[in-house]
Amino acid sequence: MKKLSIILPCYNEEETLPDTLPKLQTILNQLKGQKKISPDSFLLCVDDGSSDKTWQTIDKFHSKYSNVFGVKFSRNYGHQNALIAGLSVAEKSADLMITIDADLQDDESTIPLMVEKSQNADIVYGVRNNRDTDSAFKKVTADGFYWTMTHLGVDMIPNSADFRLMSKRAVHQFLKYDERNMFIRGVVPLVGFKHDEVLYARKERQAGETKYPLSKMIRFALDGITSFSIAPIRIIMNVGVMIALVSILLLIYSLVQHFLGNTTTGWSSLITSIWFLGGIQLIAISVIGEYIGKIFTEVKHRPRYTIEQNQITESNGK
């Protein structure tokens, strides 16, 4: 029987955890009862430097249940890093790992099906077939994002977020991707292996509020694009070439006009082109800067997170 670990990134989730953890326990107990997973399967909460009572809540569950563990970051390192830490801690003992958001917006009742499908696949993606609970704005931006990514040649599973199951060997391979700006959804498909999907409808957040405001969402999308593709640089190159061609045509036109004796006043056209070109150049520089910035953070190779406390290793030591 395989040992399953369910990993939850938690940032200020004191309101959701008291509801989430018992729900997941029930699912684990069912699966254990049906002998689908080993009895020592466990829940792993990664506290991403919460400022509320998230850690105390995890600790309370840890003292009450022998299969709930917490890992505490020394500060907030972000959702993606919390997932990476959870996977690398769990991978040492678990055979199957499921990552799911602590607010259970992803449907936890599909977990048994995921486990079932893992018999024939190393990665089982949770795929949303319904986004009714998301705002129209979020739907449009998400669709636009997945469209852009697939058209840039990034092999992503559309509408899959960070709710997925991975086998030990898939996680092991995944953790070899050592980039600092890790865009997990894009990297997991690169690992290969056989994969499968389970469909679910995304629910409303049960309590607390989203930790992904618009500014973070934009950052996340830009990171996704620039970590996987240099298409933006190609686009600005094409725009540059087009503008150069147009300006040559304009030059010929004004020379012809000059020899025909038509003097042009043209202050407006001059000032518009100066501003237009200035704008294009600034955009171009900033796009290149974005990539240089990426290289800068990768080269420094700073640790992705710092673990202050790890209840799994503590309890092994006991």
By CB under 5 A, is residue 105 in contact with Mg ion?
A: yes
Query: Distances from the Cα of 179 to the Cαs of 18, 73, 86, 159, 259, in angstroms?
Result: 34, 19, 16, 23, 60
Site string for Mg ion, 272-301 (x = CB under 5 A): ------------------------------
Smallest separation (angstroms) from ligand UDP to the CB of 171: 18
Smallest separation (angstroms) from ligand UDP to the CB of 282: 31
Q: How many chain residues bind Mg ion (CB under 5 A)? A: 4
CA distance 152 to 154: 6
Query: Sign (positive/negative) of CA torsion 112, 116, 122, 125?
Result: negative
By CB under 6 A, is residue 78 in contact with ligand UDP?
A: yes
Query: Distances from the Cα of 282 to the Cαs of 17, 232, 285, 288, in angstroms?
Result: 46, 14, 5, 10
> Which residue's CB is nearer to Mg ion, number 86 or number 232?
86
Q: Where are the beta strands (DSSP E) in the chain?
A: 4-10, 42-47, 68-73, 96-99, 123-130, 160-167, 195-201, 307-310
- Enumerate residues 245-274 that contact ligand UDP by CB under 6 A: none
Q: Do 80 and 7 touch, CB atoms closer than 8 A?
A: no
Residue range at the interface with Mg ion (CB under 5 A); choices 1-9, 13-21, 27-35, 96-104: 96-104
Q: How many chain residues bind ligand UDP (CB under 6 A)? A: 17
- Enumerate residues 8-27 that contact ligand UDP by CB under 6 A: 9-11, 13
Q: Which two tokens stand for residue 39?
A: 């009895």
Binds 47: which of ligand UDP, Mg ion, none (CB < 5-8 Å by kind): none
Smallest separation (angstroms) from Mg ion to the CB of 102: 8
- Enumerate residues 97-116 that contact ligand UDP by CB under 6 A: 101-103, 105
3-state SS assignment for residue 181: coil
Residue 267: strand pairing partners: none
Smallest separation (angstroms) from ligand UDP to the CB of 30: 23
> Which residue's CB is nearer to ligand UDP, number 105 or number 159?
105
- Choose among 164, 184, 165, 180: nearest CA to 80: 184
Binds 30: which of Mg ion, ligand UDP, none (CB < 5-8 Å by kind): none
Binding site for ligand UDP (CB under 6 A): 9-11, 13, 48, 76, 78-79, 82, 101-103, 105, 205, 210-212
